[in-house]
Amino acid sequence: TVSSNHVYDALYVDVNGMLHTLSRICGSEDQIHRRSRWLLRELFARLRPTQHLFLAMDGPASLRKLPEQQRRR
C-alpha cells in the first residue's frame, strides 16, 4: 500500500516483469510501449522517490525476446 505520508528515497522497478505482463495483455508492441510509459509515470508520481529511480532489466532486447519465449511455452 502506498501512503502519501511516507517518504521514499528510491524506487526499484523490475522492467522485465512489467514487460512480460504487458506482452500478455497488450495487442501490439505500440500498446506495450504506451502502457509501460504510463505505468512508470504512475509509479513515479505516486511514490515520488527523492533520490533514485532504478529500472532493472536483464538480457537483450526484452520486447523482441518475449514473443519468441511465449511461443515456446
Tens of pLDDT along the chain (73 residues) come to: 556 678 899 999 988 888 888 988 998 999 999 999 999 999 889 989 999 999 998 766 566 677 777 787 7
Bridge partners of 56?
14
pTM to 2 decimal places = 0.67
CA distance to 5, 23, 35, 36, 53, per residue, from 28 (Å): 38, 8, 11, 12, 27
**Where do the DSSP E strands lie in the chain?**
10-14, 52-56
Measured in degrees and rounded to the nearest 5, phi and psi for residue 8 equal -110, 125
